[in-house]
Structure 1
Amino acid sequence: MTVTASARAASPLLDLVRPARPTHVVDVGANPIDGDPPYRGMLAAGLCRVTGFEPQPDALDELKRRKGPHETYLPDALGDGGTHTLHVAATSGMTSLFRPDTNRLGLFNGFSEWGRVREEVQISTRRLDDVEEVDAFDLLKIDIQGAELMVFEGGRRKLAEAVAVHTEVSFVPLYENQPVFGDVDQELRGQGFIPHAFAAVKRWPIAPVVFGGDFRQARHQLLEADVVYVRDFGHPESMTDEQLKQLALVAHHVYDSTDLAYHCLSQLSLRGLAVPDAPNRFLAVLGSANRT
C-alpha cells in the first residue's frame, strides 16, 4: 500500500512527519455492532490499512462483503493460545470466551436476555505474537467481551511496536472470572502505555428502575468504557522515530488530539526529522481549515 496524492491532501501531517509506511490498525473483534470504528475516517482517506479478526462466521462474512482494498479480515479468535469454550449469546455483542454471570446480568435492565447463552462451541485461540499475518502495527482496537487481557498478555512482543490501544474495559464484570479495568490498566501500564482518553463511557440503570420510560437511560452506575491508551510520551527517549510519527498521525486523525500530535512533532523537530517550525505549521493548517 502506497500513500496516494488524495491521502496526502487529506492529512496536514504526512508531509511534516514523513512516515516510513501507512499506519497499520489491528482490530480484534471487528464486528461493528456499535457503528463505525474510530479509525473509519483515516481508512476512508487512504491513510491506513486494517487487519481485523472476527471469529463469528456471519459477522466475518459481512465484513468481507463490505471491505475495501486496504482491509483484511481473518477468522481467528485471539487469546492465550489455548482451547476455550465460546459462549454464543442471544445478542452477538455479548458472545464471549467467558461464561456470562447470570447474577450480575440480572442487576441491569435487558442484560439477562441479551446475555442468554444459546450455544457453546469449543474454539482454539491464537496468541497475537504468533499470528504471522500481522506485521508491525500502530493502533490496536479491541473489544472481545472480557478476553482483552489475554490478548495483551499474549501480544507483548508485537505490542512493543504499537503506539496506541483502544480497548473496552469493564467496571462491573458481567462474566464469570472476567478481568476488570484495574487488571487491564496494570498490564498496559506495564507495557509502556498510559491512559489518554475515554472514547466512550457506558452507564446503565440498575434493575428494575426505569427512568423516563426508557429502560436504557441511566443515572450514575458505571458499566463499561472504551479507553484509549497511548505510548508514554513522557519518555520520548524510549520511542523510535517511527513511533513518534505514527503516534502523531493516530492522535490527530483518529482522536482529534491536536496537543498530542503537536508534542510528537516537537520531538521529531528536536531529532532533526521534521523542520523546526513543523508544530506551528501544523497548527496553522488546522486554523486555516477551521476558518474555511
Structure 2
Amino acid sequence: MNNTGIYALIAPTRLTEVVDVGANPIDGEPPYASMLAAGRCRVTGFEPQADAFDTLQATKGPLARYLPYALGDGAVHSLQICRGSGMTSLFEPDPAALALFTGLQPLAEVLQRVSIQTHRLDALDTITHIDLIKLDVQGSELAVLQGGRTKLREAVAVHTEVSFVTLYKGQPPFGEIDGELRHQGFMPHCYDQIKQAPIAPAVVPGDGGRGLRQLLEADIVYVRDLTRPDAMSDAQLRQLAAIAHSCYGSFDLALRCVALLEQRGTLQAGAQQAYAALLAAPDPADLGP
C-alpha cells in the first residue's frame, strides 16, 4: 500500500460526484477540496448570488462547474440579499431571534429583495449522479432535500448546515431536517463544525463574536444507514469509503465499508488488513486521496 492510497484498494469505477448547493466560498475550503485537487471528484455547484458566483467561476478548475441557480421547491421566491453575504436567504430574517445575538444583527440587514425562480433538484437534467451533497442555503436545506428525493437515492453522504436557533421566519429547525434525512435512509455520522454565539448582552472580552455555551448552528454529516448495509450497492460502498477517508478522516467508517466489500467478495481477501496497514503507514501521502 506504500504511496498508493485508498483508491488503489477500493478502485472506484468513476469519479465521486459532488453537488454543492450554496457554494459561496466564504467559509474556506469545502470538505471535498483535497479530493478535487487530486482529480478524484467532479463538482457541480449552485450559487445564486452574483458576486459569489463570479468568484467561483474565476477560480474553478477543470473538474468543477457552477450554475447561478437557487435550489428549492421549484416555486418563485423572494431572495433577501443581506449585508452579510452568508446571511442572504429565501427566508426573511427574524428580528426576535436576531435580538439574542447582537453581533449578527448588522449582517442580517436586508439590502435588497429580488424575485427568483428556484429549481427542484430532481428536475435538473444537468445532474445525473450524486454521491455527496453539501448544503448551506440559510434555511432552504429542507426544501432542497425534499425536492431531490429521487436523485438522492444514490447519494451516500449529506453534509448540511442545521440550525438549533432559527434566525429566519419560518425556517425549518434541526429536528425537521434530521427527520427528513432519516426518512430518506440516512443516519447522523459526525459534526464537521459547531457554531456558537454569545447571548446578548454578554460579550467575550477581546473576541466579541466568540460563543460561550449557546448553540446556534452546525455542519453535520449524514451517511447511508450502516445498520442496513444490504440496501447499499457495491458502488455506493466504494464511494462512501472514499468520501469518509478523504473528506472527513472517518477511518472507522471507511474500514467498515472495506470490510463489507470484502465480505461480499468485491474486494480480495485481506482488504481490511491492507487498509489497516495503510492507516499505520508512516508516509502521510498514504492517507491522502
For this structure pair, what is the TM-score category when the shorter chain's length is used for normalisation? over 0.9
Q: What pairs up with 1:191-270 in 2 under 5 angstroms? A: 191-270=184-263
Q: Give the counterpart of 1:190 among 183, 203, 221.
A: 183
Per-residue displacement from partner, 1:95-154 (whole Å, max 9, x unpaired)? 000000012112103111100001000000000001111111100011000000000000
8 Å Cα contact 2:156/2:239 also seen in 1:
yes
Measured in 2, the distance between the counterparts of 1:70 and 1:10 equals: 24
Q: Give the counterpart of 2:16 among 15, 20, 23.
A: 23
1:102 match: 95
8 Å Cα contact 1:109/1:215 also seen in 2:
no
Measured in 2, the distance between the counterparts of 1:11 and 1:266 equals: 19
Measured in 1, the distance between the counterparts of 2:263 and 2:33 equals: 32
Q: Extract unaligned runs of 5+ from structure 1.
A: 1-7
- TM-score by length of structure 2 reads 0.96
Letter in structure 2 aligned against 1:270: Q
Alpha-carbon shift at residue 291 of structure 1 (Å): 7.8
Measured in 2, the distance between the counterparts of 1:104 and 1:66 equals: 36
Letter in structure 2 aligned against 1:213: G
2:142 match: 149
Between 179-188 and 208-217, report the one with greater CA deviation: 208-217
Identity of aligned residues (%): 53
Residues 214/126 of structure 1: CA separation in 2 closer, same or farther (3 Å cut): same
Report how many aligned residue pairs link the two structures.
Answer: 285
What secondary structure sits across from 2:105 in the alignment? helix
Q: Give the counterpart of 2:62 among 64, 69, 85.
A: 69
1:5 match: none
RMSD, matched Cα: 1.5
Measured in 2, the distance between the counterparts of 1:188 and 1:148 equals: 11
8 Å Cα contact 2:121/2:144 also seen in 1:
yes
8 Å Cα contact 2:17/2:42 also seen in 1:
yes
Matched, 1:274 2:275: no
Measured in 1, the distance between the counterparts of 2:238 and 2:143 equals: 28
Letter in structure 2 aligned against 1:248: A
Letter in structure 1 aligned against 2:159: H
Letter in structure 2 aligned against 1:125: T
2:157 match: 164
Structure scoring higher RCO (CA < 8 A, sep ≥ 6) equals 2
Letter in structure 2 aligned against 1:123: I
